[in-house]
Amino acid sequence: MGEVDATRSAQRAVMADLRIPEVPGFARRSAPNPPKAAGKALRDRVPRSSHDALVLPPGRPDAVRAVEESNLGRVPHLTPIRVGRMAATPFAFLRGSAGLMAHDLMGTPVTGVGAQLCGDAHAANFGLYGDARGSLVIDLNDFDETVFGPWEWDLKRLATSLVLAGRAAGADEDVCRQGAYDTVGAYRRTMRLLAGLPALDAWNAIADEELVSHTDARDLLGTLERVSQKARNNTSARFAAKSTEDTGDGGRRFVEALPVLSRVPDAEAAAVAAGLGGYLDTVSEDRVPLLARYAIHDVAFRVVGTGSVGTRSYVVLLLDHRGEPLVLQVKEARPSALAPFLPAVGFDVPEAAHEGRRVVLGQKRMQVVSDILLGWAEVDGRPFQVRQFRNRKGSVDPAALAADQVDDYGRMTGALLARAHAHSADPRLLAGYCGKSAELDEAVASFAVTYADRTEADHAELVRAVKAGRIAAELGI
């Protein structure tokens, strides 16, 4: 026995000498300052109650100038449509003014903790879409402005949007404020849940069938089911059936539906098609054989969104050997509207090698499941993102919710935002800062009401300018 013990002692000594070194890119085996404790320590420098503050930075552009500046570089004849959509309601104005809100957020407290931001995390930018096998998932679904920055900016934009959506739906002020309050509370509680899970479980947490119960959003069940049924039919095949015609030679082509869908000159269509050659180098290699089974048949221009109106956006019709369609969207990727304002709060923004790549990688960093055909391309020297069009997409209109659904929707979107942020920020750090009390919920809800009032004033200014002819707008499109 003595010899055996001696042998084991010698083996342990050898193993101690051969300890595996720390490897860059992986966590340290023992952190000197645990993330949760570091998060709690941030409260001394940035009290959670301070997030109720709104101090507008000097030099703030008025609403009309802000809209005009954001229209620069867009297709000129489409900008009146964008202005008209923004003038419809204060909520619509918020949807189109991510840059103006980022300017205003420069004057608000930040902890310095960064996360991959949606950049435009308002309540209408969440929705359903299909995964690789056709099942529906719900998550953030618009990433034009995505960038690495302060997590608080996404949360405050989302909370503000709940107030404005509630007002648009006719809910009273208590309900609107409660919607913002519950949004932040769900974000905080979800971050605490994720912080306590094994890392891999946290990464894939909150399966869609568990989302409603996790956020106590049962009043939304009927609405979500109706949206889901509609989303299941929202496919490339259905869009192609309505928007294309037979060419008589086994092919199909788009039919104009002005001003939303329009044909383009042959040279422009050829440039878009050529750009898809480079796109093939950006999708996962295992998807290239799938795309090789489709032929490109037609290209058209399609107006999209509110904030995106005026950007160059194409739909490309592909057909397989049976004539079954797949429609890709090739959408211009402009620099994030948040980028100019991030250095002021301590976040450097490196120049993007390709704006489409920025959008695609930001989307993949935030979603649990992403479109399997995401990629990027270049058309006539401009960067574009590429994705499936009508991939069983569906969305809840937050401005049309019943009053008793506003807080439910806030809780659901708050939980989804926390899950998205936890892919790039350590949930233990954020959970340590956010804590167990409702102090952060109260503060951000107060901010949201204040900024919603500010947005309503900006919207009223835009409406006056439209009526006075100071800025062109096409209403109702």
pLDDT per residue of the chain (477 residues) written in tens, 0 to 9: 555 565 556 555 544 555 788 888 888 877 677 999 999 999 999 999 999 999 998 889 999 999 999 999 999 999 999 999 999 999 999 999 999 999 999 999 999 999 999 999 999 999 998 888 878 889 999 999 999 999 999 999 999 999 999 999 999 999 999 999 999 999 999 999 999 999 999 998 866 667 777 888 888 889 888 999 999 999 989 999 999 999 999 899 999 999 999 999 999 999 999 999 999 999 999 999 999 999 999 999 999 888 889 899 999 999 999 999 999 999 999 999 999 999 999 999 988 889 999 999 999 999 999 999 999 999 999 999 999 998 888 999 999 999 999 999 999 999 999 999 999 999 999 999 999 999 999 999 999 999 999 999 999 999 999 999 999 999 988
Spatial distance between the Cα atoms of 192 and 431, rounded to a whole number of angstroms? 5
**How far is Cα 377 from Cα 48, in angstroms, rounded to an integer?**
42
Which residues does 434 contact at the CB level (< 8 Å), separation at least 6? Answer: 39, 48, 187, 188, 191, 192, 440
Q: Is 202 contained in some domain?
A: yes
8 A C-beta contact, residue 382 and residue 154:
no
Give the pLDDT of residue 15: 47
Contact 337, 98 (CB under 8 A): yes
Residue 50 belongs to domain spanning:
40-212+220-227+403-467
Residue 21 confidence (pLDDT): 86
Could you give the number of structural domains in the chain? 1
Asked whether residue 172 is domain-assigned, the answer is yes
Q: Is 162 contained in some domain? A: yes
Residue pair 279/333 in contact (Cβ under 8 Å)? The answer is no
Residue 86 placed within a domain: yes
What single letter denotes the amino acid at residue 231?
Answer: A
Chain centroid to CA 269: how far? 29
pLDDT at 189: 95
Write the CA distances from 270 to 249, 314, 394, 417, integer angstroms.
20, 12, 31, 39
Within a domain: 32: no
At residue 215, the pLDDT reads: 84
Determine the 3-state secondary structure of 140 from DSSP.
strand
Does the residue 350 lie in any domain?
A: no
Q: Are the CB atoms for 206 and 415 separated by under 8 Å?
A: yes
> Hey, how many other C-beta atoms are within 10 angstroms of the C-beta on 368?
17
Of the candidates 424, 388, 440, 371, the residue with the CA atom closest to the CA atom of residue 137: 371
Nearest residue to 113 (alpha-carbon basis) of 438, 426, 443, 440: 426
Show the tokens assigned to 262.
Answer: 């329009």
- The pTM score is 0.93
pLDDT of residue 135: 83
| 266: in domain | no
Residue 439 is encoded by which pair of tokens?
Answer: 């102090």
Which two three-digit tokens encode residue 442? 């109260």
Residue 59 gets the label, from left (phi > 0), alpha (psi -120 to 50) or beta, of left
Does residue 126 form part of some domain? yes
* Residue carrying structure tokens 């918020």: 94
HSE-up (13 A, CA, CB side) for residue 77: 3
pLDDT at 391: 86
pLDDT at 7: 56
At 103, phi and psi to the nearest 5? -60, -45
**Which is nearest to 192 in space by CA: 364, 440, 448?**
440
The angle that helices 403-421 and 151-168 make with each other, rounded to 10 degrees, is: 160
- The pair of three-digit structure tokens given for residue 274, joined into one six-digit string: 């050529």
Q: Which residues pair with 387 in a beta bridge?
A: 329
Residue 319 β-bridge partners? 295, 325
DSSP code for 147: E
Residue-level pLDDT at 250: 87
